[in-house]
Every structure is written in structure tokens, then in C-alpha cells.
Structure 1
């Protein structure tokens, strides 16, 4: 098992939820956490624990971003007019790796980051290899022609466990996707409930 795959499943086990809705998630078989103490009876979680868990779950969903990366995105969200929690979701969904994942060009968010980093993606015809690159409304994201027959791409487009959300218009025959608009929390097809309001509370107190 690769480190990337191990990390993906470890996050699911740690959260006790199948946060990507994948059929192979170990949570589908064991709902307790990893390690020798994983089956201990869970006590009542404090407000801080609930807020921390909400942050870790949201951070984990986007490829287990580092705390520094996630906090920088949160900081940007606070400077945008409107609801900070909604702004946070919008900024996370504007990441290029997130768009590549939502467009079903690759099977996982972890694969999306690697796919972008390895130079397989263009934005408006220009190659971009920075996973955190923020796309804008109207941007056209495409898989480079020489990368379209990669097994990982062919596998992803056939996945039935998730659909392309309506804020992205994907054409798998051409391997292109247009980012139509920045979504709200209700628009994003999270497999589990995300609570960005608790993330806002967490950072307000810490």
C-alpha cells in the first residue's frame, strides 16, 4: 500500500466516517479508529473537540492539507465579504486539484494533486502544475492530450460512486471542464456533513 493510499484510508478511520464516499473505505467495515486503542468507548466530545474534528474532517477531505496551508485559506476567507464559512468552502473548491477531482479526471483528491504537480493539466491552454492554483469562473481546465489515455484517467471517468457537480461543466470526450461558478456549501457533493461554521468557531477561539 502506498503512502498516499495509506494516508487516505487513515483519515477515514481517524474520522470514523467515509469522507469521500468511496466503496473501498475501511469505515464500511470497521467504524472504530485505527491503532490498538481504536475500539475504546468514545466519551462525550467537548465543544473544542467538536470544532477540531470539523476542521480536521474538512482539511482531510481536500487531501489532508497542512495546517499552514489550511489556515492561510481560512485567513483569505475572512477577508472576503460575506459568510466566512461559505467563503472557505468556495476557496477550497477553487483549488485546481479540487476542480480536477470534481470533474472526474482522476479517482481521488490525492491523485488530483499528484496529477497537477506532474504537469498533466492546463488552464485556459496554459500548463499549470500548482495544485493550490485558484481557478476563476469561466476558466477551462483540460487534461493534456498526451495524458488522456492514462489508466488513472480512464478509470476515473467511469466511476459511478460520484457525479460531476453542476458548478462544473465537464466534457469527458474532450477531457475538458469549465468552472462555471463558485459553489456554496449546499452545492458541494460532500459524502458526509461538513460544518464550516464550526471551523470558524475553532479559529475564533484558537
Structure 2
């Protein structure tokens, strides 16, 4: 399981954007980067720098998955038919931890990964504790009995800043069905994501 060793808000500040759309993000108060040199004027990024930044932002948004996992997902997307950038987004959105997050079973992607790894999620009625497991169209994801009473889950379901997207069908408050693999336009990112730049980064 990927673990974020640095402060989560630092990624927001480094990118200069509220990546997860959280009301408490520090970028809402300080739009400059972290550290003592954060307020210095930023130089113009090279093409490589722009592509690297796009990759870091996308990778960071999905809970800072490991570079090995992210690169493997990219190469799988590149072997599929169609647009590689769209395929990459589709594969990332099919991760179990992300589906749990989209279903509002958890307030953050990290807490979604945690409740999966602790065995609180069922896939088609079977307990699964692998956050990176792929969810396929028609799969039913549900909360375990203990999870239904967890404060974390109740908090997530009451969040007003995000809605359950159309490609996830709700069946009550504790069960959803993954309806289809979304396109980039369907994914409710709070900020602009540019998977085409990620493709250019790995194609160098």
C-alpha cells in the first residue's frame, strides 16, 4: 500500500492548486509554495517540467500511488485501443480505493484506501482488502456491517462539496454499482487534469 510520507497539503501548495477541492486546503490561504523559498518568483517551466508537473498532479490526486504502479498503469493504457490518456484515466478510476472514494464511503482517498485495507469493503459480496484491485462494469461495491457505523463513513456521506458521479449507481447509502468506465470529461476533478501531458512525459 502506498503511503504519503510528506504533508498532504504540501502537494496542493507545490502545484498552487486545491487538487482535491477541500475547504481546509492550505492553498486557499497561501497560494505560494511551501518552504522558505516558496514566495520567490517562479521561473518559466520547460516542456519537460510542464509534463512532469502534470504527472505529479495526477499521480498525487490518486493518493500518491507508487511510481511503479502508476507507470505500469500507463503502459497498460498504451496497449489498449483508443486514446492512451483517456484509457489511463479509465484505469485509475477503476481502482477499488477510488471507487470507494467516489461512492462517498470515505472523505479522502487516503481514508478510502484505509477502509479497504482494513477489510471493510465487499466486492460482489466478497471481502476485499486490496486497494489497487480493478473494479469492472457491473461490480457491486458495498460496506461491511461495521463500516456502516463508522464515524469516517458517516462524515463522508454528509460532505456537501462533492457528489457521486453518474458512472456510479447508488443503491441506498451502503451499496453502489460501477455502471461504466468514465471518460475524462465525466470525472469530477476539482482542477484541470492533463493526461495527454502524462502520455508525452512517458513517451519521451
Superposed pair shares fold, TM > 0.5: yes
Alpha-carbon deviations, 1:94-141, whole Å to 9, x = none?
000000000000000011111100100000000010000000000000
**Counterparts of 1:149 and 1:162, CA distance in 2:** 21
Paired residues for 1:29-178 under 5 Å: 29-173=29-173, 175-178=174-177
CA RMSD of aligned residues (A): 1.3
Give the C-alpha shift of residue 180 in structure 1.
0.1
Alpha-carbon deviations, 1:144-198, whole Å to 9, x = none?
012111000000000000000000012343x011000000000000000000000
**Alignment gaps of 5+ in structure 2:** none
Closer/same/farther in 2, CA of residues 87 and 113 from structure 1, 3 Å limit: same
Give the C-alpha shift of residue 18 in structure 1.
0.4
Is the CA contact (8 Å cut-off) linking 2:73 and 2:91 kept in structure 1?
yes
Give the C-alpha shift of residue 6 in structure 1.
5.9
SS across alignment from 1:178: strand
**Alignment gaps of 5+ in structure 1:** none
Alpha-carbon deviations, 1:64-87, whole Å to 9, x = none?
111111001101101111100000
Identify the residue that residue 193 of structure 2 maps to in structure 1. Answer: 194
Is the CA contact (8 Å cut-off) linking 2:4 and 2:64 kept in structure 1?
no
Q: TM-score, normalising length from structure 2?
A: 0.96
**Counterparts of 2:55 and 2:38, CA distance in 1:** 20
Q: TM-score, normalising length from structure 1?
A: 0.95
Closer/same/farther in 2, CA of residues 153 and 75 from structure 1, 3 Å limit: same
Please list every run of at least 4 consecutive aligned residues from structure 1 whose deviation after the TM superposition is greater than 6 angstroms. none
Is the CA contact (8 Å cut-off) linking 1:157 and 1:172 kept in structure 2?
no
**Counterparts of 1:170 and 1:70, CA distance in 2:** 28
Is the CA contact (8 Å cut-off) linking 2:85 and 2:199 kept in structure 1?
yes
